[in-house]
Homo-oligomer: A and B are copies of this chain.
Amino acid sequence: MQYKAPIRDMKFVMHELLESTKHYQTIKDYTHIEADIVDSYLETAASFAENELSPLNMSGDAEGCHFEDGVVTTPKGFKEAYKQYCELGFTSLTAEEEFGGQNMPMSLNSAISEFMGTANWSFGMYPGLSEGCVSTLEHHGTDEQKNKYLPKLVEGTWTGVMCLTEPQCGSDLNLVRTKADPQEDGTYSIKGGKIWISAGEHDMSENIIHIVLARLPDAPAGTKGLSLFVVPKFMVNDDGSLGERNAVSCGSIEHKMGIKASATCVMNYDGATGFLIGEKNRGLNVMFTFMNVARIGTAIQGVTAAQFAFQGALEFAKERLAFRSLDGAKFPDKVADPIIVHPAVRDMLLTTKAFAEGGRALIGYMSQFADTVAKGEGDAQKYADQMLSLLTPIGKAFLTETGLEAAHHGVQAMGGSGFCTEYGLEQNVRDTTIACIYEGTTQIQALDLIGRKVLGSQGKLLANFTKVIQTFCEENQDNSEMGQFTRPLMRLIKEWGDLTSRIGMQATENPEAVGGAAVDYMYFSGYVTLAYLWARMALIAQTEIKNGNSEKEFYDAKMKTAQFYFAKILPRTSTHVQRIGTGVEPFMTMDIEQFAF
Contacts and interface: CB of A to CB of B under 8 A. Distances in A.
Interface in A380-427: 404, 408, 411-412, 415-416, 418-422, 426
A412 B426 contact: no
Interface in A146-173: 165, 168-172
A435 to B, nearest CB: 10
Interface in A318-347: 318, 321-323, 325-328, 335-336, 338, 340-347
A50 interface: no
Contacts of A321: 168, 172, 175
A255 B421 contact: yes
A477 interface: no
A135 interface: no
A273 interface: no
A120 interface: no
A255 B327 contact: no
Q: Interface range on chain A: under 10, 10 to 19, 20 to 34, or 35 or more?
A: 35 or more
Contacts of A429: 257, 429, 433
A351 to B, nearest CB: 10
A578 interface: yes
A563 interface: yes
A519 interface: yes
A594 interface: yes
A497 interface: no
Contact of A575 (B254, B257, B560, B574): B574
A160 B562 CA distance: 50
A346 to B, nearest CB: 4
Interface of A: 4, 6, 8-9, 165, 168-172, 174-175, 195-196, 254-258, 307, 310-311, 314, 317-318, 321-323, 325-328, 335-336, 338, 340-347, 349-350, 353, 356-357, 404, 408, 411-412, 415-416, 418-422, 426, 429-430, 433-434, 436-438, 441-443, 446-447, 510-512, 514-516, 518-519, 553-554, 556-557, 560-561, 563-564, 567-568, 571-572, 574-575, 578-579, 582, 584-597
Given A346-B587, A556-B594, 19 more contacts: A172-B323, A174-B323, A175-B336, A255-B420, A256-B419, A326-B511, A326-B515, A340-B592, A345-B443, A347-B587, A349-B595, A408-B433, A412-B442, A416-B438, A419-B437, A564-B590, A567-B579, A567-B582, A567-B586
